[in-house]
Amino acid sequence: MIELRGVHFAYNERPILRNVSFRVEDSESVVILGPSGSGKSTILRLILGLECPQEGEVIVDHRDICHLDIRTKRQIRKKIGMVFQDGALFDSLNVAENVGYYLLEHTNASLEEIDARVREILGFVGLKPDEIVDVLPEQLSGGMQRRVAIARALLSTDPQIMLYDEPTTGLDPQATSKVLALIQKLQSERSISSIVVTHQIADAVSLSRRFIVIVDGAVAFDGSLRELRDCPDPRVQSFLGPFKESFDEVVRQEFMRY
């Protein structure tokens, strides 16, 4: 579904990604870990075609997204849902308008049809439509804003791929749990491929069986949780070092489940 092949990317000649290669299959979930500024979020921008590498290829649905005309690129993007770190909701629009924005602007669906679909998708993400459709984003908690953002992504694109950029940053434990449960629900019920960028070890372990670690713009690791735990690469050990105790506990609990 997604493949990066030897990707090199720089901003104003400042290297961000160096020879990055990996592949994500249909219905597969992958978590990208790494220090701040290592290039994790840039990978998501490349997959969306918002940026193009100076070298290498970004393959989405069997095509290099950077070598497509605007119309074809839009068709590819309709298969991708993106949830940004802050939700990126429109402040001046209420929840219903945010979630139904694509349908309002780009389809001939009636207002009644859009309202029904908005309410349905809000229910799917665990929110009560009657209580929030007329509410502005600033009146919602951080966790509710993330779930509204996921609802908008689902209704805008009917995605085969979901990209999440630090989806639980700044959330309290209860809100984090609800967002993670929703991501898991999408993976299991809709068989959506997902790439989750995070630095939260516990979140990562709950969402995937495959982990990619990016350090200084390069792939330092790509493999399973057990392989990550035992990885001797000093770049990986340095990244995991500050989380050593919590990581070991998360790994222990995860292995006890199986």
What percent of the chain clears pLDDT 90, i.e. is strictly above it? 54
pTM for the whole structure = 0.89
Residue from 83, 19, 81 nearest 56 by CA = 19
Distance CA 253, CA 132 (A): 37
Q: Are 179 and 198 in contact (CB under 8 A)?
A: no
Q: Which segments of 119-247 are extended strands (E)?
A: 161-165, 193-197, 211-215, 218-223
Mean pLDDT of 28-48: 92
Strand arrangement of the beta sheet that strand 80-83 belongs to: 80-83, 161-165, 193-197, 29-33, 211-215, 218-223
**Average pLDDT across the chain, whole number:** 89
Tens digits of residue pLDDT in 53-74: 999 999 998 999 999 998 898 8
| Pairing assessment for the beta strands 2-11 and 14-24 based on DSSP bridges | antiparallel
Sign of the C-alpha dihedral, residues 187, 189, 192, 193?
A: positive
Tell whether the model's pLDDT for residue 240 goes beyond 90: no
> Which of 194, 192, 152, 147 shows the shortest CA–CA distance to 168?
147
What DSSP designation does 197 have? Answer: E
**Is 80 in a helix, a strand, or coil?**
strand
Residue 257 pLDDT > 70: no
pLDDT digit string (tens) for 95-140? Answer: 999 999 988 888 888 999 999 999 999 999 999 999 999 999 999 9
From CA 186, how far away is CA 180, in angstroms rounded? 10
Q: How many CA atoms lie within 13 A of 229 on its CB side?
A: 15
State whether residue 176 is helix, strand or coil. Answer: helix
Q: What is the pLDDT of residues 170-210, one digit of tens each?
A: 888 898 998 999 899 888 888 888 999 998 888 898 899 99
Domains, the chain? 1-79+200-258 (3.40.50.300)
C-alpha to C-alpha distance for 240 and 34, rounded to whole angstroms: 9
Closest listed residue to residue 102, CA positions, set 152, 140, 168, 32 = 152
Per-residue model confidence (pLDDT) at position 87: 63
Show the beta-strand stretches assigned E in 124-238. 161-165, 193-197, 211-215, 218-223
Cβ atoms < 10 Å from Cβ of 80: 25
